[in-house]
Structure 1
């Protein structure tokens, strides 16, 4: 598969992911009548569902990362070159922003926004570590156990993680950047974004390290290369 198609798949997939996250958040908040739990449920189900669809469709083209932390983890596994990983990340961020702006247009919101929604503190940062660790762990373990099950496993994991993590499981630096530019239900203040992203990359690295040992055939970490 040529590089341009892979990059287009990452852009399109991340755009649809963010359009779903932000668009369903707006719709859910408008329909929930002030019930935050119902609004979160209305945000959760579409996000998990679209991940199953997008990974199934675009996985054969680009691997369906849609997430710089996932791309980083595959780079650590030497399954993607450094240059390609940076291009993937650029497309993921660009796609995420495009998806946010598309959601704003669909719901009659101001297109260019900056979020004022506070998401900060040790519990939230630790939650992002756990959320991203779990996501990368899910991907690597399912790839070994049943590769065809990855779309469903990822969609179900994110659906669960919305509810068992204090941060509602961003678990994705591109999602975090994009949501900083949406002052809606799904937003995060730009000032709170950097530490979320740091913890996401740390979580991805930790999952890589654990999986490198746990999923090796003899229980030992395989030799590099």
Structure 2
């Protein structure tokens, strides 16, 4: 695949999947806000509708994430990804994968960027081992949702590990409560450090969401 470009002329398209969940996160915006994404299978997924959307994103970047995790139960969903990568290659589109799972069998090299959603700083070392073992040269970002127990020491330890292991990008964002509103743990501290050692992501809908066979504009309104 040729290198892709990501222009500001169109919103990033985000494919939302529902393969299931590992239930290991201490928070869940998907569950607490009653988001409803139909069960994703290769046979029921709206491939024709997705291809019509992808025609608008030629030579650009799209993302894939979840309800649950897009790599959950990957062993049983390889056919889905084979079909997805064929479509992306057809239109020279790069993929940004959002996941909290390290799976040594997934073809990460086919992704333009891999975004690992972490809970603890120690998970960074597992990501680095994956990169070393598979010889990955992708852009790798780690994202931490700021939990209530986070303090400046934890943030500094995350920054230290990111620098030590030469992770490309680091981002922080707030938890989303059952009322759909963000918390503001360490808000001033993280906001002031934006574009320094990390990026601070404000809660907003930056994407268009492809859900099963149609487009949604607002994540929290997917019911």
TM-score under structure 2 length normalisation: 0.26
TM-score under structure 1 length normalisation: 0.25
Structure with the bigger percentage of helix: 1
Structure with the bigger percentage of strand: 2
